[in-house]
Structure 1
Amino acid sequence: MAMKWIEAVTGPLEQKKQYRQDKARIESLPEPYGTAAKAMHRYLLNTSGIVDGDVIIRMLTDLADLWEAAAVDGTSVHSIVGDDPVDFADTFARAYAAKEWQDKERARFTQAIEDAERAEGS
């Protein structure tokens, strides 16, 4: 009973456990992969707009997988992110299409424009 109450307030504990594991994996990466992975992790959390916890966890687990594989293979950071790291990270996040906080406002804006166009045509 207490567990359900705690999860209702804080979110699923399993997600938190997975997040901490993935964060620890990123923290343990050798340089320069650790620096790149930490920067990308921060960027994704601040800009992806994803609000679904399961999707965020899946994305961050894949992020840790990506940088661990690069470290093992010796793939250069530039070979991973290319010339535009922002575009790479944004494209990476788009692969995890989920409901975003902006979706509500996009729908509201679109509806307002349609309403205005209908009123204009009357």
Structure 2
Amino acid sequence: MNFWEKVTGSDLTRDWKEFEARAEVLPDDHRAAWDQIVAHLLPHGDFTGRNLMPILDSALGLLEQTAADGQSVHEVLGDDIPGFCAALAGGEGVRTYRDRWREQLNRNVARKLNRLGG
């Protein structure tokens, strides 16, 4: 990846289009599971989402493999797709980008209030 791709995110756009093309050929239940996985993993991404690309690639590969083997999504992921995604992202209670931004905002406000008060 060159500097320009990293700045513009064109590599992410290209990767995302590849993911969507791969997901389009999945059976309906696997495609629905992919959509849920994406929805549950995106909050765990950083500002660009670059940190999630290997995780999403692996999750999609798992769905492709299970579809090829004739397994249902329920057999592989069970009923707890949010729990599966939390485990992929680092475990239950892992911080999301909202948590990081909230902590940063709280630190900045506290710093400004300390300057005003003291």
TM-score (norm 2): 0.66
1:63 is aligned, of 49, 59, 66, to 59
Partner in structure 2 of residue 38 of structure 1: 35
Alignment-mate amino acid for residue 69 of structure 2: D
Q: Which position in structure 1 is the counterpart of 2:10?
A: 13
Q: Which amino acid aligns with 1:71?
A: A
Give every structure 1 segment of 4 or more consecutive aligned residues whose post-TM-superposition deviation is greater than 4 Å.
Answer: 107-110
For 1:26, the equivalent position in structure 2 comes to: 23
**Structure 2, unpaired ranges of 5+:** 111-118
The residue identity in structure 1 corresponding to 2:30 is: Y
Q: Which residue of 2 aligns with 1:93?
A: 89
Q: Which residue of 2 aligns with 1:82?
A: 78
Question: 1:102 is matched with which residue?
Answer: 99
The 8 Å contact of residues 52 and 99 in structure 1, kept in 2 or not, is answered as no
Residue 62 and residue 98 in structure 1: after superposition, are their counterparts in 2 closer, same or farther (change >3 A)? farther
State the 1:103 CA deviation. 2.5
RMSD: 3.2
Q: Percent identity?
A: 24
Q: TM-score, normalised by structure 1?
A: 0.64
Residues 74 and 67 of structure 1, relative CA distance in 2, 3 Å threshold: same
